[in-house]
Amino acid sequence: MAGNLLYLSDSYQKSVKTKILAVTQKGKQTFVMLEQTVFYPEGGGQPSDQGLIAGSNGKLKVTHCRLVSGNVVHEGMLKGTFTEHEEVTAQIDWTLRFDHMRWHSARHLLHEVVTQAIPGLVPVKGEHGTHAYIEYQGIINPKLKNRLETETNMLVAEDRQFATEFVTIDELKERVAWVPEKLRKNKPLRILTIAGFAPTPDGGTQVKSSGEVGPVRVTAIESAGELTRIYYAIDPLPEPVKKTTRSTENVNTQSMTLNSFRTLLIDIENELFEKISKRAVHELEALQVEYFGSHGQATELIKELRNLPDFERKAAGQLVNEFKSSIQEAFIRRRESQTPVNSQWFDVSLPGIKPPQGHLHIVSQAIMEITEIFSRIGFTRVRHKEVDWDEYAFEKLNMPAHHPARDEWETFFIEQPTTNDQRRTTKKIVLTPHTSNGQVREMEKGKLPIRMINIAKCYRRQSDVSHVPMFHQFEGLYIDYHVSIGNLKGVFDFFVQNFYGEKRKTRLRPYHFQFTEPSFEVDINCGICLGKGCKLCKSGWLELGGAGMVHPNVLKAGKINPDEYNGFAFGWGAERTYMMKSGTQLDDIRLLYNNDLRFLEQF
């Protein structure tokens, strides 16, 4: 398919002998289609080629070309005549073409640099004609201008290979990161790979390697709305200077410009890079003298700085500094690569250094596990207030003001806000000393039956080896018809078997709470002796926490008819429950909240 478009497979082919397929005339203009062509038709941001098509009886000065259904239409003024099937020679204006190739390739180099600096940027379009720019979707900081320019010129200096190949649409989609929205259907598909970069779709003419582009300048970065254009320019190539005559004595210093200075510098740099990589380490010293000694090639060129016009001297100085440091680095790298392996090199087989990885606090782990186990038997985790009215923490739990049972909960009271609110005298605010405040709050939601598991922070005015002022409780509440102590026992056994292990079971010991009747303390059989009694547990049983059948007064406070419904409740400390699982005997429970990583990382 690409057979007739020769510029696609060889950008350097300047002419072809071919036959005329069709000729048409419109006014003064003649339009010619050829069997094969070297002429590049305008497109992809690259202007059309110009040149000459010559037959035996006529000459067409081609001023413009377009691609029409896969064929190039050459347009221009015809002198003489053309006939169909006639053999002609088509020849492009090579100076113009080579210039277009350089501008076009420069655009690709700049694009690679831009996408490296700002990954994920989406290109919109690019051109070089009246303006040369690449347009991207997004905002680019104009301060990047110098960096983009320097990096593009580094690619130029590295003389990277440009390789093109034809592909099918599927191959194209698989290999390139970005497929333009509108792929021109009438053009064969081609991809371009600049050595060291990912392939991109491209159908224009390209140089063989980046060195041919010459110095690139990034002239402006301008944003309008969401779009940003990076404008660039390349310098006209200096007159070819033969390697041997490059020595500065032969350079006409009168005509030294920044551009030619830059080109000479890049030449020396490339030459040196190559020599550094090829020379043995003991020869490097001599190489350094050869270039940087008092009459060295590099030294001589640097002396030329003074022949540059004033306004260019500063920029040239900067180039020299960059040149010196990159050469310096190359020397160092070369020397290091020769030093004995064990002193400088590193062992690639050594295991890497793993970054520290955090984990959840043990109490968070416990809460997640407890929630999960109860969810399996239909209990839903809920959250109730951790700062609540005194009435939810006590009064509605059958503990009126001044009731002595309140003393057990070493409660923090919060200073009353100064307001004229009637409730001021009767209502107090507390940091909840237990999660039982959630009982009546859950009942007030008015949904029955209730199967809640309320896990929250609790606060008590205690701090010693076995108490922290802030800890966690999980409160279970089950309200339904005909709930029995048997149900309560069943739920506890289910929990301990799942949480601690199959052989564990619970036992209920009579106790007293104002808000349950009857009330119990729940014990679990010791994990070691399973209840027989051992050195560790003494009695064979360990205490888990409080529980009981919900007191009718509490049901009433929650607007539930105690003649119809009943239920059970339990409230256990999360920290204690969890510590009993790991078998950790904490000398001081406060360690849990001291945030000492040496301690926390053990769990």
Q: How would you classify the pairing of strands 122-128 and 132-137? A: antiparallel
Residue window 377-416: x/- pattern of binding to ligand PHE, with contact defined by CB under 6 A: ----------------------------------------
Which CB, 162 or 520, lies closer to ligand PHE?
520
Q: How far is the CB of 520 from ligand PHE (least distance, A)?
A: 8
Q: How far is the CB of 380 from ligand PHE (least distance, A)?
A: 17
16 binds ligand PHE (CB under 6 A): no
Quickly tell me which residue has 């009637």 as its tokens. 422
Stretch that binds ligand PHE, among 207-215, 238-246, 276-284, 544-552 (CB under 6 A): 544-552
Distance of alpha carbon 372 from alpha carbon 498, whole angstroms: 10
193 binds ligand PHE (CB under 6 A): no
Q: How far is the CB of 550 from ligand PHE (least distance, A)?
A: 8
The radius of gyration computed from the CA coordinates of the chain, to the nearest angstrom, equals 43
Q: According to CB under 6 A, which one of 106, 388, 571, 578 is a site residue for ligand PHE?
A: 571
Residues 462 and 551: beta-carbon distance below 8 Å? no
Site for ligand PHE in 134-173 (CB under 6 A): none
260 binds ligand PHE (CB under 6 A): no
Q: How far is the CB of 485 from ligand PHE (least distance, A)?
A: 13
Stretch that binds ligand PHE, among 68-76, 192-200, 203-211, 545-553 (CB under 6 A): 545-553
> For ligand PHE, how many residues bind (rule: CB under 6 A)?
11
547 binds ligand PHE (CB under 6 A): yes
Neighbours of 3 (CB within 10 A): 10
Quickly tell me which residue has 């016009």 as its tokens. 309
Kindly provide the residue ranges of all beta strands, DSSP E only, lying in 355-462, ordered along the sequence: 380-382, 387-389, 412-414, 429-431, 450-459
Which CB, 203 or 546, lies closer to ligand PHE?
546
350 Cβ neighbours under 8 A, 6+ residues apart: none
Site for ligand PHE in 496-525 (CB under 6 A): 513, 516
Q: How far is the CB of 568 from ligand PHE (least distance, A)?
A: 8
Which CB, 331 or 511, lies closer to ligand PHE?
511
Comparing C-alpha atoms, which of 97, 104, 106 is closest to residue 38? 97
Stretch that binds ligand PHE, among 91-99, 238-246, 362-370, 563-571 (CB under 6 A): 563-571
434 binds ligand PHE (CB under 6 A): yes
Distance of alpha carbon 396 from alpha carbon 440, whole angstroms: 7
Residue type, 262: R
Please tell me whether residue 6 adopts helix, strand or coil conformation: helix
Q: How far is the CB of 415 from ligand PHE (least distance, A)?
A: 24
Q: According to CB under 6 A, which one of 569, 574, 580, 592 is a site residue for ligand PHE?
A: 569
Edge-to-edge strand list for the sheet holding 470-480:
380-382, 450-459, 470-480, 566-573, 541-550, 516-525, 506-513
Q: According to CB under 6 A, which one of 203, 204, 214, 546 is a site residue for ligand PHE?
A: 546
Q: How would you classify the pairing of strands 450-459 and 380-382? A: parallel
Q: How far is the CB of 404 from ligand PHE (least distance, A)?
A: 16
Q: How far is the CB of 546 from ligand PHE (least distance, A)?
A: 3
Please tell me whether residue 33 adopts helix, strand or coil conformation: strand
Residues 488 and 504: beta-carbon distance below 8 Å? no
Omega before 518 within 30 of 0, i.e. cis: yes
Please tell me whether residue 25 adopts helix, strand or coil conformation: strand
Q: According to CB under 6 A, which one of 570, 579, 580, 589 is a site residue for ligand PHE?
A: 570
**Helix 258-278 / helix 284-292 crossing angle, nearest 10 deg:** 170
Quickly tell me which residue has 């049901």 as its tokens. 555
Which CB, 477 or 579, lies closer to ligand PHE?
477
Chain position whose Cβ is nearest to ligand PHE: 571
Q: How far is the CB of 506 from ligand PHE (least distance, A)?
A: 14
Q: How far is the CB of 491 from ligand PHE (least distance, A)?
A: 13
Spell out a b/e string for 317-328, using b for 16 or more CB atoms within 10 Å of the CB, else e.
Answer: eebbebbeeebe
**Helix 362-375 / helix 485-499 crossing angle, nearest 10 deg:** 130
Residues 229 and 133: beta-carbon distance below 8 Å? yes
Which CB, 527 or 562, lies closer to ligand PHE?
562
Stretch that binds ligand PHE, among 20-28, 310-318, 338-346, 564-572 (CB under 6 A): 564-572
Q: According to CB under 6 A, which one of 30, 48, 50, 436 is a site residue for ligand PHE?
A: 436
Which CB, 121 or 547, lies closer to ligand PHE?
547
Element (H, E) at 73: strand 71-80
Quickly tell me which residue has 């409160």 as its tokens. 475
Q: Which residues bind ligand PHE (CB under 6 A)?
A: 434, 436, 475, 513, 516, 546-548, 569-571
